[in-house]
Structure 1
Amino acid sequence: MGRRPALRVGVAGLARPGVWRRLREWLSLEEVDVVAAADPDPERRERCARLGVPRVYGEPRELLAREPLDILHAAGNPVEQGDLVASALMRGLDILVEPPLATGARSALKLLAAARSFGGFLVPAWPAAFDPAWRGLVANALEVGRPVHLDAALTLAPEPWWGELDEELFDDPDVSLPGALALGADRLVHLALEVFGTPATVAACTETERLFGRPWDRRATLFLLYPWGTARFRIRLSFVEDGAEVRRPAGAGPVLFGEKGVLEVRRRRLALQRLSDGRRASVLPVAAGAAAQPPGWLVHALKRSVAPSGSLGLDRLAAVYRVVAALERSAAAAGSLRAVE
């Protein structure tokens, strides 16, 4: 029996955090041929060619139009990424997306509907599904007893596409895309649903004065409230102005508080401190490996011809963006963002 043809992969966008690591993962897989990539920046295109990618394009849409692909890795400007993903789904491609899927819950939910209609895999690279320490927090949540509070902070620093997003959100009266929530909160809402399940209510509030042109204030706090007792999930979003120093929270990972202790993601480690142990914290092992990373995971799923389910199934993705949509409505009611239709 001959070898199955390699899956043809195209990478759309080379400016997002972590995309070069993902590109190297694609290149390392025997079942895959990375046939092309696209990015508007000539230096990034040159760097991509040096890694061995045979063709590079200036625009992701040119990549999609010219290359017969099996998989699209969408890692471009979130302002334009939703339309690109929709086009790829209509072409029958399977898609790995660097989150967010789109700027705003409404657009993301439309993409999920398209994935159901056209049958392609639509897989966001959310850390609760792929980051070993985040996955470990979900798997070991019961180590701290009944969960009481989950806290996460996310700092959104300037990236090449922020200027376009600011302009679209602030200047176009026909656009109601509260991109800050989808850009920051979707991956954290996914974590909350993995640990706690679906919240009973949500609430959004701001903490400082509004910044001209920003999709949110300098800092915002979002709450997911659960029906039992005082259990809640707090998401703290903060924005960094162009040229300002990026100061990320200490540890930079989510923290789960339970009745019997605390479980904390500390960069790539998972620390457990039980109340009975006083101040001593133990480091729990976390499972890593190429197969657990998005490129290898997606290739394995395609070989088995089994659509993602559970944590990455379309039902769970839809639940995440319904919660994000509720947060958007809460923020709009508080006067922080335009309402979502």
Structure 2
Amino acid sequence: MQKIVFVYGKASQSIIEEVKQNSLSSSLKHLDYETFMHTKMEYDKVLVAGDIDEIKAIFSRAIVEGFEVALIPDASQVTLQDSFSLSKNLSENLKVALNSEAKPMDILYANEQVVLHTALAGDAPPLSYRISKYRNKSIKERLILLYQAYLKVKLMKHTKVKLQTNKSQTVETVATGVVVIEHYNKTCASKLINTTVSTNDSKLDALIISPNSIVEYLQLMAKAIFGRNKKSTIPNSIGYIKSKQLTLESKVPLPLMVDGKEAGTTPVEFMVKPKALKISLPDAFWKNAPQKINNKETVKTDKLVHSNENMNYLQKRLPFFTHAGEEQYRTLFATLRDEGRASSNFVMLMLL
């Protein structure tokens, strides 16, 4: 018989009475966060309700000490509900916590800090936005959101970045930001890679946003705001990397946000610790777990800017339309010249 304790933080004081009265959890031991963190561990499983920092502190302790955990978000923690396929209903989440087998889950770290759902370096709208942010909006409301995006684009800045994977593949380009996730978390980023992102594949997924123009950025925003299709493709303005580890450096320090909270600036090292935490979650969360781990890395950044000329140009300003560099003009004129030459076959046909 497992010894189970319900731990609640200051932010979850509002639900503790409901938890104590619920038939599923009334018989459990209930401890506040501070008491639990200063108590010698004597439980097999911990049900956690609290703010992001409290949850991550308990998860970190569980990783070290090996006890099982389950997450009980309150009604306002929509991001956590979406990220871990949990319900808004307390009883449903308690059923999962108490009746579902705890399974080992990969954990993403950013500079050794646990990432529950999303790490963001720089500015990467709309990739870090939740899909549900737009789901129930009217057409008028979505148009207003698109206009607000247009106003924000003037504040976005490209900076030179260098990314290096676990297998030492290096990418140098310019970007406004980078989003890193470990599993499908119902953000626009995870929607773009919904055919490749998976739970417990021992890898992180990074998307590099680098629009070449205001028009490209608005196209990206429009896809996020108006798109309803389940399957999606990665736009030309986004690069994609899948690796066990990723180091990000930037010419200008980029602010780092982890789970919506400030966490320093670049450089930053992202890494995945495979199956580090034993956690009870709904079956829907585990459905994308691969049957076999593939050690192959994925680097798709060929459509991003790499030439010094174009990188320097984008760091100065973001043009309204895509700017063609000198090399692109040379290629165009060479193609036109070759196409304009009369071939021997064409001359023979004219003589005939």
Structure with greater Cα Rg: 2
Same fold? TM cut 0.5: no
Looking at secondary structure, tell me which structure has more helix per residue.
1
- Greater relative contact order: 1 or 2 (C-alpha under 8 angstroms, separation 6 or more)? 2
Query: What TM-score, normalized by structure 2, do the two folds share?
Result: 0.29
